[in-house]
Structure 1
Amino acid sequence: MARDAAATRERILAAATDEFSAHGLAGGRVERIAAQAQCNVRMIYAYYGGKVGLFDTTLAEALRRMAENVPPRPEDLAGWAGDVFDHHQHFPEVLRLSMWAQLERPEALAEPREVYQNKALAVATAAARPLSAVDVLVFIYAIAQAWQLSPKGLTALAENPANSHGIAARRQSVVTAVERMLQAQS
């Protein structure tokens, strides 16, 4: 039976996303990744050079997919903030991977700088504001990610925190907060 290297790499990245988002780099186990990906540990080392290389690739791929799935909309930054909120609701592992990287491997986060520069340029060309484009982006990300980053003990206080009505209300709050921030900057 012929091997399909691309399919093996995809299975490894999917398994690594699950493992590293749950346990981080230090707690992630290559053996568990290999078992979930239905490959052997040698394949992981052959394709990624080791656990650190696999973590970096997993993080870069997750951030690349997010950039593709949720490109900035300079003409509707508030709507884009809602899209970022939605992305984190549907793919919380991306934010968890980013948080683990900030804690355990901050040098891995330098890679998407170009992506953020492109977003900042798009925001900067949308309209002149007293806040810099980077400040606007940081604000949008902070608001859009706040629910996912809040302590579970706090979010558990919300009545039915996972129901669609509550999620829709939180999304609308994100959009409204960004709209008001942009109006204040006009």
Structure 2
Amino acid sequence: MPARDSQATKARILEAAVTEFAEHGLAGGRIERIAREAGSNVRMIYAYFDNKDGLFDAALTSAIQSMAAKVAPRPEDLPGWAGDLFDYHRAEPAALRINMWAQLERPEAASEPLESYLAKTTALAGADAAPLTAVDLLVFIYAVSQAWYLTPVGLLKADGANPDDPRRIAAHREAVVAAVTRIARPVT
């Protein structure tokens, strides 16, 4: 019988948990579905994560850390970074979705680890965006890069256009990049 790879099992559980919780939230997420999707069992989930809240917190952290690794801040190109964040949320919405569920159902776990925020604000500290602080700038960039995905579909359709039209999405991405360009390099 082959040896069990606990790290691989834990990684599969986390991947399945991110998907489940992003789709259904903490209250709607089911440990049994996560175990089945991960090719594991409920007992192993509780052995690794103690309880459902622990698994949710680990899945949230995993999703956010994955996003941070794939789309790290680029102080030398804040507009490009904002565009990349916009693209990331379109391609991989799980981090945004699970974070929104956390805001609603488990606010004490809803923020990135403080170290992550400190690293990002430190990276942006030298960015030319007076009078904004690095924190203000980070909040603004996240807000504009996520806005399209957090806007009610009815509002996105209010002008009669299809919000999923690739030209419309490209135009919104351009607007995100332009907004960050203006605020990161204010006209003096």
Same fold by TM-score greater than 0.5:
yes
- How many residues align structurally? 186
Evaluate the alpha carbon distance shift between residue 171 and residue 13 of structure 1 in structure 2; reply closer, same or farther with a 3 A threshold. same
How far apart are residue 182 of structure 1 and its match?
Answer: 2.4
Query: Quick one: which amino acid aligns to residue 117 of structure 1?
Result: L
SS in 2 for 1:125: coil
RMSD: 1.7
SS in 1 for 2:40: coil
2:185 to 173, 177, 183: 183
Quick one: which amino acid aligns to residue 64 of structure 1? Answer: Q
Unaligned runs of 5+ in 2: none
CA contact (8 A) 2:82 2:177 kept: yes
For the 8 Å contact 2:128–2:185, the answer to whether it is kept is no
- Deviations along 1:68-105, one digit per CA (max 9) or x if unpaired, are 11111111111111011111111111001111111111
In 1, distance between residues paired with 2:87 and 2:111?
25
- Give the aligned partner of residue 145 of structure 2: 144
TM-score (structure 2 length as normaliser): 0.91
Q: Distance in 1 between matches of 2:68 and 2:105?
A: 22
Determine if contact 1:63/1:112 at 8 Å carries over to the other structure.
no
2:22 aligned with 1:18: no
SS in 2 for 1:23: helix
One-letter identity of the residue aligned with 1:151: P
Deviation string, structure 1 residues 91-135 (Cα, Å, up to 9, x no partner): 111001111111111221345221111111121122361111111
Cα distance in 2 for partners of 1:65, 1:25 equals: 20
2:50 is the counterpart of 1:49: yes
Provide Cα deviations, 1:9-44, integer angstroms capped at 9, x if missing partner: 222112111110111111111111111112110010
SS of 1:184's equivalent? coil
How far off its partner does 1:185 sit? 6.6
**TM-score by structure 1 length?**
0.92
Letter of the structure 2 residue corresponding to residue 72 of structure 1: P
2:99 match? 98
Alpha-carbon distance in structure 2 between the residues aligned to 1:88 and 1:128: 24
The answer for the alignment partner of 1:155 in structure 2 is 156
Tell me, in whole angstroms, the C-alpha distance in 2 between the residues paired with 1:126 and 1:184.
11
